[in-house]
Amino acid sequence: MNLLLVEDETRVADFIRRGLKAEGWVVSVATDGETALAMAAAETFDVILLDIMLPGMSGQTVCRRLRMKKDLTPVLMLTALGDVEDRVAGLRMGADDYLVKPFDFDELLARIDALVRRAAGFQDRETEPHLLSSGSLSFDTRSLEVRCAGQLIDLTPKERDILKLFLSNPGKIFSRERILNSVWNLNEDPQTNVVDVYIGRLRRKLGPGGEPIETVRGAGYRYRTRGEP
């Protein structure tokens, strides 16, 4: 498996690279955002490990540019301790998860593993029904293909997770906290509108197929099944 590590502090980069190499990862290192973007454009990586504090272009900008270029490689952001705003900004830029420095190496491995498994499309969950659908919308949880009226729709991993939550529980109301917990693994309320931003994006991408994502005032969101008022 190929991993791109974007970290300007040589000692930290060396530590992570050596540890991951020992776990069988092929690790490429970029020390600034421009180089990282060039490397990501030239090669396919399974995961990108992205430090936020970089000289010049920040990690958040790197992530946003990747997503703008439709690069959906899972991104794990590395943030300084306690920077809740940084973390939330990173998630809003399309990062899939974050890890606070200093971190435990086992924790890093576990997070990378989770991202890879999720990106692989829950392939080990054979018992789960793999085709979710409602109206003109269908979601194959193995191939991760989302189609609306037969048309393929490009979703980021987080957008897919939200859609999966809705389609697996049609009619059920999900609070923002519940969505944050289920999709971002956040147990605290970061006091942001990150969920609303993602729901808005999801609706736009799905077009008319996204209309059933309903805002329930004061409660959250739910996916209305066809025929329901």
Residue 62 or 137 having the CB closest to Ca ion: 62
Place of tokens 């439709």: 70
Residue 37 or 186 having the CB closest to Ca ion: 37
Residue 34 or 140 having the CB closest to Ca ion: 34
CA angle 157, 158, 159 (to 5 degrees): 95
- Binding interface with Ca ion (CB under 5 A): 8, 51, 53
Residue 39 or 165 having the CB closest to Ca ion: 39
Nearest residue to Ca ion by CB is 53
Q: Compute the least distance from the CB of residue 180 to Ca ion, in Å.
A: 26
Task: Say which residues have a Cβ less than 8 Å from residue 144's Cβ, sequence separation at least 6.
Answer: 121, 160
User: Are 13 and 55 in contact, with CB atoms under 8 Å apart?
Assistant: no
Give the helix ranges, DSSP H, for 93-193: 105-119, 157-168, 176-184
Q: Compute the least distance from the CB of residue 50 to Ca ion, in Å.
A: 10
Q: Compute the least distance from the CB of residue 15 to Ca ion, in Å.
A: 13
Q: 131-134 and 137-140: which strand pairing? A: antiparallel
Q: Compute the least distance from the CB of residue 134 to Ca ion, in Å.
A: 44
